[in-house]
Amino acid sequence: MKYKGIKMTPIIPYHKNQKFGIVDVELNFLIECKYFQILKPFKFNQGWLCFTLNERKRYGWIYYENGQIVEIEPQYSAVNYDSQELIGVQSDDGSWGFVDHSNQQLISMQFSKIYPFSNHRAIVSIARKNLGSVWGVIDINGHWTIHAQYQYLGEEQSGLRCFKRYVPNQGNLYGFVSDETGQEVISAQFSNASHFCDGIAVVSFGQGKQQYFSVINSMGEIIADQLKHAELCAFGYSLIQRNRYLEFINKKGQAVLKTKETKVHQLNFLSNENLNLIRTGRRELIATQYKKKWGFYKVDDSGVKLQIEHQFDELSDYGFRQQRCAVSIDQQAAYIDENGVMKAPLGCTDVFMDYHGALCTLVKYSLEKPYAFMDQEGQRVIDFKYAMHFGNFDESGLLYVFKEKGTDINSGFIDQHGVEYWQ
The pTM (predicted TM-score) of the whole model is 0.87
- Please tell me the predicted confidence (pLDDT) of residue 2: 40
What's the rounded mean pLDDT across residues 180-192? Answer: 97
Q: Tell me the pLDDT tens digit for each residue of 391-400.
A: 888 889 999 9
Higher pLDDT, 105 or 335: 105
Q: Where does the pLDDT of residue 277 fall: very low under 50, low under 70, confident under 90, or very high at 90 and above? A: very low
Q: Tell me the pLDDT tens digit for each residue of 291-325.
A: 999 999 999 999 999 999 999 998 887 788 777 88
CA 34 and chain centroid, separation: 32
What's the rounded mean pLDDT across residues 15-29? Answer: 96
Instruction: Return mean pLDDT, the chain.
Output: 88
- Please tell me the predicted confidence (pLDDT) of residue 81: 80
Percentage of the chain beyond pLDDT 90 is 68
What's the rounded mean pLDDT across residues 137-150? Answer: 97
What's the rounded mean pLDDT across residues 385-406? Answer: 86
pLDDT(354) > 60: no
Residues 84 and 44: beta-carbon distance below 8 Å: yes
Percentage of the chain beyond pLDDT 70 is 88
What's the rounded mean pLDDT across residues 340-346? Answer: 77
Q: Tell me the pLDDT tens digit for each residue of 72-99.
A: 999 999 999 877 899 999 999 999 999 9
Q: Tell me the pLDDT tens digit for each residue of 196-227.
A: 999 999 999 998 889 999 999 999 999 999 99
Higher pLDDT, 70 or 367: 70
- Please tell me the predicted confidence (pLDDT) of residue 276: 39
Q: Tell me the pLDDT tens digit for each residue of 368-385.
A: 567 778 776 777 788 888
**Range from 45-59, 321-335, 340-354 carrying the lowest mean pLDDT:** 340-354
